[in-house]
Amino acid sequence: MLLNDHLGEQPPGDSDDDLTRLMGREREILQHIAEGRTNGEIATALSLSLNTVETHRKQIMKKLDLHKTADLVRFALRKHVVN
C-alpha cells in the first residue's frame, strides 16, 4: 500500500491526463529513463546534446511534479510507457 492510499489521495504524477502533458520527445526520453539509461546514453541514442536531455528531464519532472528518477520510473510503469 502506498503512503497516500489510506488518505484517498493519488500519488504525484498519477492523474489520468498526466501523460498527455508530455510532448513526443519528452515521452521518448521518459521511456529511455524508465529503461535505465543515463542522460549520456539517451543523448547518444537520440542524437541530442547532453544539455538537451537534461533540460527535457527537468521539464518532465516539473510537468509531472516528480522529484526523483525512481518517481519517473514508477510513473512510466503505471502509465505503461515501458513494460
Ordered domains of the chain (ranges, CATH): 22-78 (1.10.10.10)
Q: What pLDDT does residue 28 have?
A: 96
Q: What is the pLDDT of residues 2-49, one digit of tens each?
A: 544 444 455 555 555 688 999 999 999 999 999 999 999 999 999 999
Confidence (pTM): 0.78
Q: Which residues of 28-45 are buried (b: 16+ CB within 10 A; e: fewer)?
A: bbbebbbeebebeebbee
C-alpha cell at 4: 497516500
Q: What is the pLDDT of residues 45-71, one digit of tens each?
A: 999 999 999 999 999 999 999 999 999
By the 8 A CB rule, do 77 and 34 touch? yes
Q: What pLDDT does residue 36 have?
A: 95
Closest CA to 26 of 46, 9, 41: 46
Q: What pLDDT does residue 82 have?
A: 87
Q: What whole-number distance in Å separates Cα of residue 63 and Cα of residue 72?
A: 11
